[in-house]
Structure 1
Amino acid sequence: MSLFCDQANEISIQLPHIKLTAKLWGTQDKPLILALHGWLDNADSFLPLSQHLSNYQILAIDWPGHGFSEHRPGHYPLHWIDYLYDLDALLLALPEHQQPVAILGHSMGGIIASAYTAAFPNKVDKLILIEALSPLYEKESKAKQRLNNSFEAHQRYLQSKQNDTNVYRDISVAVNARHKLTALDVAWCEIITERNMKKVDSGVCWRSDPRLKLDSPLRQAYSQVDALMHAHEVETLIICGQQGFSQLRSAIPTAKRWFNRLELKELAGDHHLHMGNAAEVSFAIDHFLSDKDNKRD
């Protein structure tokens, strides 16, 4: 297959198990960056970066249940490990001449990318993580309560799924709600929210899979994540926002121990600094990808 897009940069990719939609910016004669968005975001969250990374073609997918991509079938609980299979199938589906020179992941997308490259370092040349580090982990003692909480929430979802569609008179209501919840600039909330909503007779409603908001039934222990991430071989750039998640910045010593080839950048911005500070983030990415002799920060 080859990646062709219409005038709106929209494409679809049929994987063996699900159909994904994506945005594609740039021409085929440029090296490809595969961009993976965060939880409840979508491909349009990379629009600001696409306007600065002019030396690259950017393929930004919608994860299943996000944007215009299909939802996972059935009504079973979701788990983050499913995204690893999506990513592997996607890389296999891309044509040889459009294999990515790097995977770029923001937040959840970065979590998936870091875990995938840790397990399969021969499948990815370079890794760029924005406000992300590794799979989430917690104490083993929380496993029973997490499983119980997850199943209880899922049962409530099954009981209410026929009446759980929140309809807004227009998209501005949803935009303002996200702005108040996350403090993300209204302009960026508009970009992300528009792709995650659909029109209905009485207004607009979410097209996102409601299961995305339910807790995962299982989270790994630190020892498991440590074993996975230890001696990470892929050349990696981690970009943190100065006003981003403090937990990420405090985990930098751990990152230095995990990644064998690591470059670190802290730039102005919040958790979505790739939108609010796209120029500086793009410069850091371009420098990282064009520098063949990166050294540990």
Structure 2
Amino acid sequence: MSAQVEEIRLNLGHIELAAHLFGPEDGEPVIALHGWLDNANSFARLAPLLRGLRIVALDLAGHGYSEHRPAGASYALADYAHDVVRVAEQLGWQRFGLLGHSLGAIISVQLAGALPTRVSRLLLIDGVLPPTGTEQDAAQRLGMALQAQLRLDSKRKSIYPSLEQGIEARMKGMVAVSREAAELLAQRGLIPVPGGYSWRSDSRLTLPSPARLSEAQAMAFVQHIECPTCLVVAADGMLARHTALLEQLPFEQVRLPGGHHLHLNDEQGATLVADCINRFCGFS
């Protein structure tokens, strides 16, 4: 990771978040949002390669060194968007860009659609819209979510006897990553516990959503975005197979080789994504 990175904490009143700060003080303000169960180190390779940007890479609530939400609270997309706006208010940023990967890209799209005058540009990596649902599934989905919440009370987090085993578990997670990527995420994600190591992330992050937007509702956020937007599609990632969706998006799109974490898995992928973003921002 670049020696120029600075660790900061942001007290938003309702929660305290940790973040990494990159780039020149007079750079274009950008808030970077990582993916589900990742943390600010998701941008450890990419951010130092970006030019002209003042980047605040957050540990989202419940992730990394950030606080978990209070008992009884949940991790809805709207709550993440509220956190980001609070961060911008604390930094004095009336307008700011958003750099988002996966879940972070979804949050970015929703915030840019909801408050289009606040967001100056969108830089999205292999993520756009949340999973959608139908009206007919609403009752069943809520029931499933409630049952999962009750079951969570009796579950315990996995404990790995060694740091190495914790890293290997992340490499083989729902979305596989390279060893170097897992090691970077583990720096902010693994914590010593009796018997070994466990991941810091809030167990409630694994709960199913109690409600989903319809396709029309999800696309409404895209339609309300006013700022320039660049979407990086990983050739072996999650978006590449959704060609019908990609054809509907009014965004500049660039397809790059690599998997879902192409910006983190290796230096080559980080460089390709950085070159794309630097060109889009006019800093190439």
TM-score (norm 2): 0.91
User: Is the contact between residue 77 and residue 217 of structure 1 (CA under 8 Å) also seen in structure 2?
Assistant: no
Structure 2: distance between partners of 1:48 and 1:42 = 13
**Gapped runs of 5+ residues in structure 2?**
none
Asked whether the 8 Å contact 1:49–1:282 carries over to 2, the reply is yes
**Alignment CA distance shift 1:234-1:27 (3 Å):** closer
Change (3 A) 1:137 1:185: same
State whether residues 22 and 59 of structure 1, in contact with CA within 8 Å, keep that contact through their aligned partners in structure 2. Answer: yes
Question: Is the counterpart of residue 168 in structure 1 residue 163 in structure 2?
Answer: no
Q: 1:102 to 1:178 in 2, by over 3 A?
A: same
CA shift digits 1:164-190 (9 cap, x unpaired): 132212221121122123331111011
Match of 1:42 among 18, 39, 43: 39
**Distance (whole Å) between structure 2 residues aligned to residue 247 and residue 79 of structure 1:** 26
The answer on whether the counterparts of 2:100 and 2:125 sit within 8 Å (CA) in structure 1 is: yes
The residue number in structure 2 matching 1:60 is: 57
Between the aligned partners of 1:37 and 1:234, the Cα distance in structure 2 is: 20
Would the alpha carbon gap of residues 56 and 217 (structure 1) be closer, same or farther in structure 2, given more than 3 Å must change? same
Structure 1 residue 142 and structure 2 residue 137: aligned?
yes
- When residues 229 and 7 of structure 1 are mapped into structure 2, their CA distance, relative to the original with a 3 A threshold, is closer
**Which of 245, 257, 266 is 1:268 aligned to?**
257
2:128 aligned counterpart, secondary structure: coil
**Partner of residue 237 from structure 1, selected from 214, 230, 233:** 230
Cα distance in 2 between the residues matched to 1:8 and 1:48: 11
Equivalent-residue separation in structure 2 for 1:58 and 1:120 (angstroms): 20
Match of 2:70 among 68, 73, 85: 73
Within the candidate set 12, 21, 27, 1:24 is matched to: 21
What corresponds to 2:193 in structure 1? 200
| Structure 1 pair 263–241 and aligned structure 2 pair: CA distance change class (3 A) | same
Given residue 124 of structure 1, which amino acid in structure 2 is its aligned partner? Answer: V
Contact 1:140 1:221 in 2 (8 A): yes
Indicate the RMSD between aligned Cα atoms, in angstroms: 2.0
- 2:245 corresponding residue in structure 1: 251
TM-score after normalising by structure 1 = 0.87
Report Cα offsets for 1:82-125 as digits up to 9, x if no partner: 111111111111135xx665210100001011011011110011
Shift of residue 59, structure 1, vs aligned partner: 1.2
State the distance in 2 between where 1:165 and 1:188 align. Answer: 22
The CA distance in 2 between the partners of 1:74 and 1:191, in whole Å, is 29
Task: Look up the match of 1:124.
Answer: 119
Structure 2 counterpart of 1:179: 171
